[in-house]
Structure 1
Amino acid sequence: MQKTILVIGTYDTKDPELNFVAETIQKMGGAVIEMDVSVLGDPSRPVTISKHDVAAAAGKTIQEAIDAGDENHAMQIMALGASKLTAQLYAEGRIHGMIALGGTMGTDLALDCARALPVGVPKYVVSTVAFSPLIPPDRLSADIQMILWAGGLYGLNDICMATLSQAAGAVYGAALAVVPPKPGQPVIGMMSFGSSALKYMVHLRQPLVDRGFSVAVFHGTGMGGMAMESLTEQGYFAAVLELAVAEIGNIMVGSAVNAGANRMTAAARRGTPIIAAPGFGDMIDFPTWAPVPERFRNRPYHAHNRLIASASLTGPERRDLAREVARRLKPSTGPVHFVLPTQGVHAWDTEGMPAHDPDALAEMVEGYRAEMTDPIQLSVVECHINDLAFSTRVLEIIDGWIADGTIRMDRR
């Protein structure tokens, strides 16, 4: 079956490149809808959606975009219109994926368009700043794909065409191959780390599947939290299991391993049922390849691999993290239940391991006891987070919510 790809870009500055992408998709048997998001110039030939259409979708005219004062404000108008039109085209069944090209301006707009599409719809951004720290995690959609546009700032060349043809093939191939999420099946979003450190996902996944859920487990390394937060914002989950909180601690100390300032807030805003726990609530993560911040240099330190390493928090810092987690959970318009294990929060804090600190653990437990007050419900379990007893308590809460209708088993 032929698929249609939305091609987005500024046709006044990248007309040859955008036409090359469209032609590559068409040579593979695909169809395209082209959207011009430029402001000043015009494409070499008419496109499906003109810049005037894009501005109109934002409630403006091109002249108003020009009169906005600078290109940043003008492109924000175009980004609003482009993202609205992207969502509309998908809702009407007219597109099966999108690809956008850009430098910093085009990428900024493309991120909004990608977020307008649900998970499972291929969304590719060819960008001169792909993988750059300029792009904050909370701007990324959950399943966005990016490719670095090497040599692509201005004009077609061999390197540029190699990149663009790969991207065109990737987005069209993805549109043909994608297995979309099952409609109607309730989904549980769960935050965790690898099973060498946290075992609850091993204990919980199959029982949740047996209850009729699809279970999506996210890796709490910044990008995982970004994806989970993005899907939560879309109302994708019947409930979220925020059982690992390291990303919040990372935000607090300025670590690059974070999912953005709004992490662990979407479920509260939407009223999505939340079960939370302090998994990894005693460690801060850093890139292994970067110098350890001076504040953490004389602390227990675990290099997990050549990418990520962790340092321990003190007892008072763990209390601060407990306070911050509570601050993010308490505004929830839906139910929140915090499950507090008293004997440890990951495999590295057990006796004989580098992060074992019974006094700081006790202070952390007391911190969560003090902070998890109304409207949060608190369950204290005398076990380690990796013990089956912890997961059993989580399942008991879920079963109660299923029984009283808090968790809907029909996804709408």
Structure 2
Amino acid sequence: MTNRSRPRILLIGTGDTKADELLFMQRCIGEAGGVIVMMDISVLGDPPYKAAHDKHAVAAAADKTIEAVIASGDENSSMTLMALGASRLTRRLCDDGEIDGMITIGGTMGTDLALDVALGLPLGFPKLIVSTIAFSHLIPPERIAADLMMILWAGGLYGLNGTCKAVLSQACGAIVGASRSAIRPRPQRPIVALTSLGKSCLSYMVELKPQLEARGYEVVVFHTTGMGGRAMESIAAQGGFAAVLDLSLQEVANQLMGSVVNSGADRLMNAGRHGIPQIVAPGAIDMVDFPAWLPVPAELADRPFHAHNRLLASATSGPEDRRRIARAIAAKLAEATAPIAFVLPTGGIQQWDQEGEPLHDPEGLRAFVAEMRAAIRAPVELHVINDHINERGFVEKVLAIFDRWVADAVVPAGKVAVERI
């Protein structure tokens, strides 16, 4: 149980190289009302303070001695082993109720370790990384925890200064405040994940969400613009859903086409790996996203184009690329260990692909539909419908599959509240 007035904050860092910064953060956390718990992840040196969890304890959590860590090869192999130990030890402290929040500090090396630690913690447990590469494309999407907070460690390369003190003090206040006020998820009803791309591009969620809620489910909708899909995959990897309605796969197409607006190579994989039943549809797979403030990528320069806003623009992929995307989707689904139904709406897969809209491309749609029909193999169920994905027939098909799975106990029954008179 979190101590609301004096939350216990785990502070992780290399005390042999960043002692000044860590001791400053210790002071800031104490002044903000937190109780500090230090974890030292140094490899070669020792900090000028006694950590509650020293480097020997971290190495031991990885089933190694610190000497074995040092002898493992180079700094990369050593810190990878320390990351394993820090992740295991931090999760143990969390599960045993000994800490209420976690904050780490580092450059690329410390951030590499910190990302593993954050991924090992449950959703809702406050986690903050102070990093010289916060928000950088050096960090692959699949390594970012669903609810991770990050702040750029400006001016933090070597020693304390006024600029980095401003950042570190903010971070310390933020983690104490988050740990004091965080509400951990304790769902009263089974959780269903639903992916969509806004409401203007894919509108099925407007009807699906209340229908599922009426059946006794808590519905969590994820916006598939890169980090939304990453959050969904991160929670699915922890077994956090009763079912997944993954109806917007644009991030899969983006990753395959080299767009930075993607959720990592494991998109569309984690629910299946963890035995979670899925209803899947190819919402918006024809769109390749890119930053609207950059030139249109050369390979898409002659394709239909739509600028959604000043941040995000999309162009359509060609017929051959859509065939490749279809095969990639089918290959991912084939690896699942739980039931999957794939709904293929032949009338269109996003709002702007209809006649008269800027991304209308019937040839590309036909190519995708034909390849998708050929690529799907049992035991994946294939449901081909004539509707557009934004039409009522699509929603009715998804709900029919879902209701059948509930009746067959593939999906746990919802918990509908009984109104008391």
C-alpha offsets along residues 207-258 of structure 1, whole Å, 9 cap, x if unaligned? 1122222211112121111111111111011111111111111122211111
Distance in 2, matches of 1:271 and 1:138, equals 19
Displacement after TM superposition at 1:183 (Å): 4.1
**1:110-189 aligned within 5 A:** 110-183=114-187, 185-189=189-193
- With 219-228 and 135-144 compared, the bigger mean Cα shift is at 219-228
Distance in 1, matches of 2:355 and 2:270, equals 36
Distance in 1, matches of 2:187 and 2:10, equals 24
C-alpha offsets along residues 53-82 of structure 1, whole Å, 9 cap, x if unaligned? 101111111111222231111111111100
Distance in 2, matches of 1:174 and 1:306, equals 32
**1:200-349 aligned within 5 A:** 200-349=204-353
Distance in 2, matches of 1:224 and 1:44, equals 42
Structure 1 pair 410–106 and aligned structure 2 pair: CA distance change class (3 A): farther
CA contact (8 A) 1:6 1:98 kept: yes
Distance in 2, matches of 1:391 and 1:410, equals 19
Distance in 2, matches of 1:393 and 1:268, equals 21
* Residue identity matched to 1:12: D
Distance in 2, matches of 1:209 and 1:36, equals 46
C-alpha offsets along residues 285-335 of structure 1, whole Å, 9 cap, x if unaligned? 111222222111011011111221111122232222111101000121110
TM-score (norm 2): 0.95
C-alpha offsets along residues 22-43 of structure 1, whole Å, 9 cap, x if unaligned? 2212112211211000111111
Displacement after TM superposition at 1:145 (Å): 0.7
**What is the SS of the residue equivalent to 1:6?**
strand
C-alpha offsets along residues 149-176 of structure 1, whole Å, 9 cap, x if unaligned? 0001111111111101111111111112
C-alpha offsets along residues 177-200 of structure 1, whole Å, 9 cap, x if unaligned? 222212453111122111011101
**What is the SS of the residue equivalent to 1:194?**
coil
RMSD of the TM alignment (CA)? 1.4
2:355 to 351, 355, 359: 351
**What is the SS of the residue equivalent to 1:250?**
helix
Displacement after TM superposition at 1:358 (Å): 2.1
Residue 56 (structure 1) aligned with residue 60 (structure 2): yes
Number of equivalenced pairs: 411
Aligned residue in 2 for 1:68: 72
**What is the SS of the residue equivalent to 1:339?**
strand
1:9 to 8, 13, 16: 13
TM-score (norm 1): 0.97
CA contact (8 A) 1:184 1:410 kept: no
CA contact (8 A) 1:185 1:409 kept: no
Distance in 2, matches of 1:217 and 1:144, equals 18
Structure 2: 5+ residue runs without aligned partners?
Answer: 416-421
Aligned residue in 1 for 2:90: 86
Distance in 2, matches of 1:184 and 1:219, equals 23
Percent identity among equivalent residues? 53
CA contact (8 A) 1:299 1:312 kept: yes
Displacement after TM superposition at 1:410 (Å): 8.0
CA contact (8 A) 1:342 1:383 kept: yes
Distance in 2, matches of 1:136 and 1:361, equals 30
CA contact (8 A) 2:216 2:414 kept: no
**What is the SS of the residue equivalent to 2:103?**
strand
CA contact (8 A) 2:155 2:164 kept: yes
Aligned residue in 1 for 2:51: 47
CA contact (8 A) 2:217 2:414 kept: no
